């Protein structure tokens, strides 16, 4: 009998501090009008100095575990997607596992930048549908604010902090129907935080650098392709899709992609105005919001998609 993995609980967490576009006006030469027109972003959340990526992940995970109606001790796989880990090693997933008071099961991080949650969920799906894991915790958690040059107006207005999590469990009923992952490393310098450590010294800049226009065009192209690929693989039309949950980088990328796919705006979950781009956390944050406010209902078709540094990109199609 074919087994599937199914999301049985979602959760999220946003740090208390909100940084508005007006706040940014007093920090760099920008305007609320410019930011909203070019990106759709109104505000973003910023982690407190003492908070770590695993702290944010912990809050989101607790909410997801509660929603799933299981105990933390039922979790037998922990995957954290992050670009901003607590430290070089151990993985943020191991630190999170310890904070959840569990031990023994595999725990590891996935680094695929803004596609990280799509990569992590696709990976967990393979553990769960094959029977290797029973209950997987999959988290996207980021403190982007720590790798931003707050003097660079071309990047500092775009990003925010947060975490989202899901619990995946094995079920005879789908569940995740397909996942499609891609990467093209020839773009590795177009979007990066190109620092490295040499003999204890940092070389290069740890701040996000990007060619915004190239990222924009590439994102719209591959996101349309990744969703179309998912539809073809499941013999579905775009009109069958109830909810598109895109990576939240820029409202213009989101609406251009939806338009190319023929998916109407009212079926697109957009949180970028409130969250900014939270990298690997953006898709699970948007998913949790749409589950909790009752938009996503049983048996509906939901497509998740993401694109990010690498470049990496992909899609996951599921039946709720």
Report the C-alpha gap between 105 and 128 in whole angstroms: 13
Residue 247 annotated in active site: yes
Partners of 179 in beta bridges: 316
Q: Is residue 158 a contact point for ligand ACO (CB under 6 A)?
A: yes
Closer to ligand ACO at the Cβ: 284 or 308? 308
250 is a site residue for ligand ACO (CB under 6 A): yes
Work out whether 308 is an interface residue with ligand ACO (CB under 6 A): yes
> CB of residue 289 vs ligand ACO: minimum separation in angstroms?
18
| Residue 154 Cβ vs ligand ACO, minimum distance, rounded to whole Å | 4
Min separation Cβ 134 and ligand ACO, Å: 33
- Give CA 6 to chain center in angstroms: 18
Are 220 and 260 in contact by the 8 Å Cβ rule? The answer is yes
With contacts defined by CB under 6 A, name the span among 6-14, 100-108, 205-213, 290-298 that binds ligand ACO: 205-213
Strands (E), 14-150: 17-20, 43-46, 77-81, 107-110, 135-143
In the bound complex, what is the minimum distance in angstroms from residue 175's beta carbon to ligand ACO? 27
- Residue whose tokens read 């589950």: 291
Q: How far is the CB of 151 from ligand ACO (least distance, A)?
A: 11
Of 27 and 197, which has the nearer Cβ to ligand ACO? 27
182 is catalytic: no
Decide if 114 is catalytic: yes
Q: How many other CB atoms are there within 10 angstroms of residue 225's CB atom?
A: 17
Per-residue contact flags (x/-) with ligand ACO for residues 10 to 39, judged by CB under 6 A = --------------------x---xx--xx
Q: Where do the DSSP E strands lie in 48-187?
A: 77-81, 107-110, 135-143, 161-171, 176-183
Shorter beta-carbon distance to ligand ACO: residue 209 or 234: 209
φ/ψ region of 71 (left if φ > 0, alpha if ψ in -120 to 50, else beta) reads: beta
- The closest alpha carbon to 145, from 251, 56, 63, 35, belongs to 56
List the structure tokens of 257.
């992609």
Does residue number 187 form part of the binding site for ligand ACO (CB under 6 A)?
no
Centre a 10 Å sphere on the Cβ of residue 240 and count the other Cβ atoms it contains. 13
d(CA 289, CA 149): 29
Which residue in 21, 63, 250, 277 is the catalytic one? 277
Positions in 125-154 near ligand ACO (CB under 6 A): 153-154
Q: List the catalytic residue out of 114, 129, 250, 275.
A: 114
Min dist. Cβ of residue 315 to ligand ACO (A): 14
Listed residue (175, 145, 171, 107) closest to 278, CA to CA? 145
On the 0-12 / 13-18 / 19+ scale of CB atoms within 10 A, 13 is: buried
Please tell me whether residue 41 binds ligand ACO under the rule CB under 6 A. no
- Closest to ligand ACO by CB, 210 vs 236, is 210
**Residue nearer to ligand ACO on the CB measure, 19 or 75:** 19
- What does the alpha-carbon distance between residue 221 and residue 67 come to, in Å, rounded to a whole number? 35
Q: Which residues pair with 147 in a beta bridge?
A: none
Among 147, 167, 307, 316, binds ligand ACO (CB under 6 A): 307
Q: Contact positions toward ligand ACO, by CB under 6 A?
A: 30, 34-35, 38-39, 114, 153-154, 157-158, 191, 210, 212-213, 215-216, 219, 247, 249-250, 277, 307-308
Active site residues: 114, 247, 277
């Amino acid at each position: 009998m074919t087994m599937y993995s199914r999301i049985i609980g979602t959760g999220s967490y946003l740090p208390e501090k909100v940084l508005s576009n007006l706040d940014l006006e007093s920090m760099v030469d920008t305007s609320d009008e410019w930011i909203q027109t070019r990106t759709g972003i109104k505000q973003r959340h910023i982690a407190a100095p003492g908070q770590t990526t695993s702290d944010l992940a912990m809050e989101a995970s607790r909410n997801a575990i509660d929603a799933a109606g299981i105990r933390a001790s039922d979790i037998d796989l922990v995957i954290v997607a992050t670009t901003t880990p607590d430290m070089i090693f151990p993985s943020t997933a191991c630190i999170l596992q310890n904070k959840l008071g569990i031990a023994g099961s595999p725990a590891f991080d996935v680094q695929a930048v803004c596609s990280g949650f799509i990569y992590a969920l696709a990976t967990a799906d393979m553990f769960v549908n094959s029977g290797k894991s029973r209950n997987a915790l999959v988290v996207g958690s980021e403190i982007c604010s720590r790798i931003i040059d707050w003097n660079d107006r071309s990047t500092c207005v775009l990003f925010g902090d947060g975490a989202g999590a899901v619990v995946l469990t094995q079920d005879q009923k789908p569940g995740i129907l397909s996942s499609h992952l891609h990467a093209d490393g020839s773009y590795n310098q177009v979007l990066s935080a190109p620092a490295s450590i040499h003999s204890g010294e940092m070389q290069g800049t740890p701040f996000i650098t990007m060619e915004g226009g190239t990222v924009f065009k590439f994102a719209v192209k591959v996101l349309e392709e990744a969703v179309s690929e998912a539809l073809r693989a499941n013999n579905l039309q775009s009109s069958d899709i109830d909810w598109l949950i895109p990576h939240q980088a820029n409202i213009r990328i989101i609406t251009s992609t939806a338009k190319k796919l023929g998916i109407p705006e009212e079926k697109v979950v957009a949180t970028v105005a409130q969250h900014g781009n939270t990298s690997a956390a953006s898709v699970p944050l948007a998913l949790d919001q749409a589950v909790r406010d009752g938009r996503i209902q049983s048996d509906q078709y939901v497509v998740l998609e993401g694109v990010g540094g690498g470049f990496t990109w992909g899609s996951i199609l599921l039946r709720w």
